[in-house]
Amino acid sequence: MADSKLILQPGDVSLAALRRIYTGGVRLEMAAGARAGLLASQATVQRIVAEDQVVYGINTGFGKLASTRIAPDRLAELQRNLVLSHSVGTGEPLAANVVRLILATKAVSLARGHSGVRPELVDALLALANAGLVPRIPAKGSVGASGDLAPLAHLACVLIGEGHATAPDGEVITGAAAMQRIGLQPFVLGPKEGLALLNGTQVSTALALAGLFGAEQVFAAGLVAGALSLEAIQGSIKPYDARIHAARGQPGQMAVAAAVRTLLEGSEIIPSHPDCGRVQDPYSVRCVPQVMGACLDNLQHAARVLQIEANAASDNPLVFDNGDVISGGNFHAEPVAFAADIIALAVAEIGAISERRLALMLDTGLSGLPPFLVRDGGVNSGFMIAQVTAAALASENKSLAHPASVDSLPTSANQEDHVSMATFAARRLGEMVSNSAVVVGIEAMGAAQGIELKRGLKSSPLIEAEFARIRETVAYLDQDRFLANDVEAMKQWALQSAWPEALQAILPSHQP
């Protein structure tokens, strides 16, 4: 089936559209109206050069060398050298879906009409994305201020015929070959064009968006796993009463309580134990709305920040429609760093509370289930060491959740004396999401085991459907077996996106 077309309106690309770009299967096209603004800002830059005005980034050096004036006949050399000298990244190449987002958001940023570049550069960025040609951008080397300079330089290298790209079949080709495949000659960059390509927060933002989208899936999986665990231990639904959460008024908390009530509606298990003697469940079951609701509020706030940033003009200097060219600091990625840090807090807590529910189920004194969720304990260890894996990853995420945004090291001979560290803040989210997906997956596998160990009454239709999906993924554990494959399969279960509508409706990137 042919890719669907997605029109990018600069300044108004939705979070849902960004998720579609990340997921793939869309053909990108810039809104026709963007061309006028691009041409107008390019004309301003050309006028400045023609009048021999001295303006930073157009005919001067960069950073600490900003006071060095560059002769008109060396401006093309200046821009090319800027790209080449800044291509100093290291590490593994960024994933293709992240680079797609970088290409799209860089195109959107330039198309805002504040960067002074020709429309053909924007067209080329989208052509690379649509052809599945992925510039090879090393993951490390940006401090997230003065833009994501090194990684964006590696992207820009492809446009000038340098560097490398990965083709759809996995072949690594030269930048010149990539340009040839989209029917273009490598660009000879004009005044300010190299700087406009390198300045910007698109790499940090794309990595943070990838972390957000992953966090959403693990969040939804955590709610399903929590509902399964509640049923496995025959917990109480009373703490999810809407009146409790309305009395506090936190929006995420109210939304989570409502979603879990929907998940469990129609359960035969919940009304079957009114006289069980349990007064209160442990916090990891009872306080799911409070904890996961706070996580949801964090994700909602981060989503708002990242959508704004994905649409932002984060170049420097900026060109305005009255002819002014003003140097500022929109390249400083502090908003992205903060957003990534609060996503990290949410992801860590999703895993932390999930691990506690898993530990609860394994403790027969608290859960009423067989020790370690297996018959014939002693001969069988059941989920004993799977919980150790969950504990290890939940603990690892606590260290990874330390805020990156509180760190800073000066660069460029102290001209750039405070930086955001947004790129690392965002990049570490991928590992954290993976860790929490393993934890939540193990919990869900354990909860399904617990339900089956007490099998009699059915849970709700939605939870029974999720139980069936888990059983399609992993089998009941009647005796010890090699569990690593099951753990990996359940990790993938936690990272999928086909969740019940009640959950999708509260995820930020699924909003209309």
- Give the residue numbers annotated as catalytic, written as ranges: 56
- The DSSP call for residue 368 is -
DSSP-assigned states of every residue in 275-339: TS------HHHHTHHHHHHHHHHHHHHHHHHHHHHHT----SSEE-TTS-EE---TT--HHHHHH
Neighbours of 159 (CB within 10 A): 25
In this structure, the strands spanning 172-174 and 325-326 are: unpaired
- The Cα 137–Cα 95 span in angstroms is 9
Two structure tokens written together for 340: 């990534």
- The Cα 18–Cα 210 span in angstroms is 10
- The Cα 451–Cα 467 span in angstroms is 9
Which of 211, 219, 97, 209 has its CA nearest to residue 499? 219
Two structure tokens written together for 86: 């800044």
Burial 116-144 (b: 16+ CB within 10 A, else e): bbbbebbbbbbbbbbeebbbbbbbebbbb
Q: How many Cα atoms sit within 13 Å of 12 on the Cβ side?
A: 6
The number of residues in the chain equals 512
Which of 338, 246, 344, 334 has its CA nearest to residue 295? 344
Helix/strand/coil for 4:
strand
- The Cα 212–Cα 310 span in angstroms is 13
* CA distance from start to end of the chain: 25
Is the bond into 317 cis (omega within 30 degrees of 0)?
A: yes
Two structure tokens written together for 354: 């999930």
Helix/strand/coil for 166:
strand
DSSP-assigned states of every residue in 472-493: HHS---SS----HHHHHHHHHH
Residue pair 163/99 in contact (Cβ under 8 Å)? The answer is: no
Residue pair 314/109 in contact (Cβ under 8 Å)? The answer is: yes
Which of 508, 505, 495 has its CA nearest to residue 217? 495
Question: What is the tally of helices (H) and strands (E) in the chain?
Answer: 20, 9
Two structure tokens written together for 405: 């945004």
φ, ψ of residue 237 in degrees (nearest 5): -90, -10
Partners of residue 325 on adjacent β-strands: 319
Which of 162, 165, 150, 163 has its CA nearest to residue 197? 150
φ, ψ of residue 79 in degrees (nearest 5): -70, -40
